Structure 1
């Protein structure tokens, strides 16, 4: 865990953003952090080599699907502005063997996560977008 979230003050989980995913994130950072409560993306100056995304939720995928899923979740608050990036990131999650819509469903029903974006509404919009 790293610094507190700029939005809600909850702990964040820092992770490295692979070079091929930086184009989908505003300012293309080498490191980012996802809030364990509101799922907002925050700046991070450093990140552990192998972050444990279960600190965010047990619903989070691991392995190659974890970082693109975290980035996509952090971008969901503005679907209109981030549509291209979200589509690409969710495609990466699927390619890595995880179901991003199932992850969003599980996060939406979890009491420990109070996402900034309305996950139930976004899930419906994403389902239409990905068809």
Structure 2
């Protein structure tokens, strides 16, 4: 599958039921762009989950942290609209043993990515909001 924003390849992962409320109704997976990090909901779970570290090593290695991190990145286009969801997803990342703010900083610094959202600016804004 290719990204609808930039036509780069994507990695598709299934979303655990615990995070279903962060997706449009009826969607059970997401495709994460390897270039711009756009997260696109998918109607079906893949037969096998892709490895989010193949997008960037900045994603946590543990899927229990990487999946909520990817969902949070997909919501960064509007902090005002998605603030509560981002907070809950960041809590899940932290509960799985990873630092979501550090992961976001590393994603912003990854020179191989061309994020659709200014991750550095979002990192600073989240630091103030969640501080």
TM-score normalised to structure 1 length = 0.91
- Equivalent residues in 2 for 1:63-82, closer than 5 Å: 63=62, 64-82=64-82
Q: Call closer, same or farther: CA 1:115–1:93 in 2, change over 3 Å.
A: same
SS of alignment partner, residue 4 of structure 2: coil
- Equivalent residues in 2 for 1:29-108, closer than 5 Å: 29-44=27-42, 45-63=44-62, 64-108=64-108
Q: Call closer, same or farther: CA 1:88–1:97 in 2, change over 3 Å.
A: same
Structure 1 residues not aligned, in runs of 5+: none
Output the aligned Cα RMSD.
1.4
Structure 2 residues not aligned, in runs of 5+: none
Q: Which digits, 9 at most, give the CA deviation of each residue in 1:58-113, with x for residues without a partner? A: 11102210100010011111111111111100110011110111111111111111
Q: What is the match of residue 23 of structure 1?
A: 21
| Deviation, structure 1 residue 126 | 1.0
SS of alignment partner, residue 97 of structure 1: coil
Question: Segments of 4+ in structure 1 off by > 2 A?
Answer: 25-28, 43-46, 48-51
Q: Call closer, same or farther: CA 1:25–1:129 in 2, change over 3 Å.
A: farther
Q: Which digits, 9 at most, give the CA deviation of each residue in 1:33-66, with x for residues without a partner? A: 1111111111334424342111110111022101
Q: What is the match of residue 116 of structure 1?
A: 116
Aligned pairs, how many? 129
Report if the CA contact (8 A) 1:13-1:53 is conserved: yes
